[in-house]
Structure 1
Amino acid sequence: MKTIKILSLLTLVVVISAFTINKSNLTTGYSVGDVAEDFSLMNVDGNMVSLSDYKDAKGFIVTFTCNTCPYAVGYEDRIIALNNKYASKGYPVIAIMPNNTDVKPGDDLAAMKQRALDKGFTFPYLIDKEQKVYPKYGATKTPHIFVIQKTKKGNVVKYIGAIDDNYKDANAVKVKYTENAVDALLAGKEVPVKETRAIGCSIKK
């Protein structure tokens, strides 16, 4: 009888522990509709940048990207095009490099400066040196997009995921998820597709 009680207790502990472990391993980060916290990160020009610096912005295209991931490099021209199209309409690109530079030295600040210069970035390219910002967003890939709208409540997340539906060929893209999201917000409409799966390299911790 005692053996049965002990086994029952052990089973209960295992079950509870399993749920606790699973809960702690769940992906955390912002969901669509959440208010994103502001941050202060160093730009390649040496200045600190926050979302609050953009007084006239209607929102942001926050882009987690890097130098070393082939997916991120393949999307660079499309990220530049997004900023060229939407910054003047109130939705600038804010690019953030989230990788651990000890693991990926090709993503360090010096390399970021050179990449921004070579590509002619017209948007901030920030380093998440302490790796504190990307976990709050729940970013897992480079590139990973978060379209944010400024509201009375704060910076509300409206879209999370991929830039479009074809990372291999920009000319073969059929659905421009990020553009569609920003266009909808500018028109005062509901974002048609609020979340997609980001395609890219895993963020290096």
Structure 2
Amino acid sequence: MGLLDGTDIPLGTPCPDFDLPAMDGNRYRRDDFKDKDVLVVIFTCNHCPYAQAVEDRIIQLRREYEGKSVQLVGICSNDPNFVPEDSFENLQKRWREKNYGFPYLHDLEQDVAKAFGAVCTPEYFVYGPDRKLAYHGRMDDNWKEPHKVTRRELKEAIDLILAGKTVDFKQIPSMGCSIKWR
């Protein structure tokens, strides 16, 4: 497990397109979610302790925005030859067990992670209605102990975008395991 911070990607960067298979048997593209005002792309995986620590919080976040114009999409880009826990079958099993409730995509060729500039799991990219990057930071201020969270930056960013406002606070990079490249 290599610990990394997310990369510094300029706000306003357009959301890359993607076309990937999902755990539900479908394929998804960026424009499949064009009816949503906010698109939250989360690079995550099964094996990383940082991703595991926030998994239930991500699921809770999805529940909080049910019925609102927010779409969460998970993407796993790890090489399953390096990390068998992140094979399509194992991702699908966990997706079902945990009832994610949002599309979880498999980026086997790792082209999508490279297009986004993703380097770690979990890593969050939040786009507004214009599909320009509006937030690229951490989920909250305590990845390890949810009961000690005092600030939920990802939720704050989503709420600002939904209100038509700019995310105007300092964006602290997400911290996690390095993506396992081929």
| TM-score between both structures, scaled by the size of structure 2 | 0.91
Q: Which has the higher contact order (CA 8 A, sep 6+)?
A: 2
Report the CA distance between 1:85 and its aligned residue. Answer: 1.5
Deviations 1:61-113 (A, max 9, x none): 11000000011011111111111122421111100001111111110000011
Superposed, which structure 2 residues align to 1:114-133 within 5 Å? 114-133=93-112
Equivalent of 1:175, from 142, 148, 151?
Answer: 151
Asked if 1:85 is matched to 2:64, the reply is yes
Cα 1:82–1:38 shift into 2, 3 Å: same
CA distance in 2, matches of 1:28, 1:183: 23
Q: Which amino acid aligns with 2:167?
A: V
Matched residue, 1:189: 165
The one of 36, 53, 56 equivalent to 2:15 is 36
**Alignment CA distance shift 1:39-1:29 (3 Å):** farther
- CA distance in 2: counterparts of 1:89 and 1:47, whole angstroms: 22
User: What number of residue pairs does the alignment pair up?
Assistant: 176
Q: Which structure is larger by alpha-carbon Rg, 1 or 2?
A: 1
Alignment of 1:50-129 (within 5 A): 50-129=29-108
The 2-side partners of 1:133 and 1:31 are apart by: 17
Checking the alignment, whether the CA contact within 8 Å between 2:22 and 2:28 is kept in structure 1 is: yes
Seq. identity, %: 39
Unaligned runs of 5+ in 1: 1-26
Letter in 2 for 1:156: K
C-alpha distance in structure 1 between counterparts of 2:180 and 2:118, whole Å: 11
Q: TM-score, normalised by structure 1?
A: 0.81
The equivalent residue for 2:137 is 161
CA shift at 1:28, angstroms? 7.6
Partner deviation per Cα, 1:175-203 (whole Å, 9 max, x = no partner): 11100101111112221335322111111
Q: Letter of the aligned partner of 1:196 in structure 2?
A: I
Which of residues 137, 143, 154 is equivalent to 2:116? 137
Q: Secondary structure at the match of 2:169?
A: coil
Residues 103 and 204 in structure 1, CA contact (< 8 A), matched pair in contact too: yes
Aligned-residue Cα RMSD (Å) equals: 1.6
Distance, in Å, in 2 between the alignment partners of 1:85 and 1:202 is: 29
Q: Which runs of 5+ in 2 are unaligned?
A: 1-5
More helix by share: 1
